[in-house]
Structure 1
Amino acid sequence: MGLFDQILGAVANPNQQGSLGQLGSIISTVDQLSNSTGADASTIQSLLSVVGGQVRSALQEKQATEGNEAVQSVVNEFAGTSPNSAAVNSIFSPALQQQVAEFAAQRTGLDAGMIQQLLPQIVPVVLNFLQSGANTQGSQAGGNSVLSSFLDSDNDGDVDISDAIQMASRYMGR
């Protein structure tokens, strides 16, 4: 099952945290990023996809060294739609932040400095998507299907935040 299917399942399941309101606020934040940077929506979605891939790698490493609970804890603490540099610092070291920005700049054509400034806005949005699968009774009760799907390490190409945002926009008629 793809990431977006997991997100829709979380929205439909009253035992998971996902909601249409949550998806709407994520989409609005992406729109605001597009408006504030002057970049078109597809460029911002590409940026989210690239940064999301880097977040995935960092969370997979955290999962391998510290376990699932540590990853869920980061997601629970830093998911949101407001800028949060602590979210970025919890996932990427300062040197890695610069590398992520440079890599994303190569992929999107946006300025690396601007991307580095946008990371505190982008990372919480990615984590917010991942939080949608968490159980409403607490993070340990039943796991997080969206996070598990996102961290799926079989590299089947099924994990892409940009695709999930596009599908959520279409699903919500925006």
Structure 2
Amino acid sequence: MSLFNQILGAVTNPTQEGSTNQLGNILDTVQQLSGNHQTDSGAVGSAVSIVGNYVRGALQEKRNNEGDAVAQGIVNQFGGTNPNNQVVQMLFSAPQLQQLIGEIESKTGMNATMIQAMLPTLVPVVLNFLKTGADTSGGNSVLNSFLDADGDGDVDMFDAMQLASRHLSR
């Protein structure tokens, strides 16, 4: 099942955290980032997808080394729409951060300074998207699906955002 279908299922399931309000806030935040940095929304969308790939790797590593509860705790604590530099530093080592910035820079044309300014918002937004699957029993179907992906490097985070936008008629 695609990431978007997992998220849509979470939005319609009353025992899960996801809501159309939450999706709307995520989409608004990404749009605001584009406007605040006067950059193409497609470039920001590509950045979201790249950040999603790196977040998946970091959360998989946390889950493998420290357990499911730690990965879920990071999503619960830091998933949101407000900038948070702490989670960026928690998830990525300095070399990983440089690699992430370099990849975004080469694929979007955005400069490194702009990317560094966006990351404290992009990472919590990605985590917030994953947070939609949190349920009352402590599980998270969206996070589990995201982390158990086949590892082909194709995280459809931005595609899921675009589908959510269409679903919400935005």
CA contact (8 A) 1:87 1:123 kept: yes
Unaligned runs of 5+ in 1: none
**Displacement, 1:158?**
6.4
What per-residue deviation string (whole Å, max 9, x for no partner) do you get for residues 87-146 of structure 1?
2112112332222111211111111221112110100000000000001x2xxx251110
Distance 1:142 1:75 in 2: 12
After TM superposition, the score normalised by the length of structure 2 is 0.95
**1:33 equivalent in structure 2:** 33
Structure 1 segment 105-116 matched on structure 2, within 5 A? 105-116=105-116
Matched, 1:152 2:148: yes
Distance 2:139 2:153 in 1: 22
Matched, 1:172 2:134: no
Distance 1:64 1:19 in 2: 29
**2:49 equivalent in structure 1:** 49
**1:4 equivalent in structure 2:** 4
Structure 1 segment 89-128 matched on structure 2, within 5 A? 89-128=89-128
**1:69 equivalent in structure 2:** 69
Distance 1:148 1:159 in 2: 13
Q: Considering only aligned residues, what root-mean-square deviation do their CA atoms show, in Å?
A: 1.4
Q: Give the stretch that moved more between structures: 45-54 or 151-160.
A: 151-160
Tell me the matched-pair count.
170
CA contact (8 A) 2:53 2:153 kept: no
Distance 2:155 2:94 in 1: 25
Unaligned runs of 5+ in 2: none
Q: Give, as a single letter, the amino acid of the residue that structure 2 aligns with 1:9.
A: G
Distance 1:142 1:54 in 2: 24
Q: Give the stretch that moved more between structures: 119-128 or 152-161.
A: 152-161
CA contact (8 A) 2:52 2:155 kept: no
Distance 1:162 1:2 in 2: 12
Cα distance change of structure 1 residues 142 and 73 upon mapping to structure 2, 3 Å threshold:
closer
After TM superposition, the score normalised by the length of structure 1 is 0.93
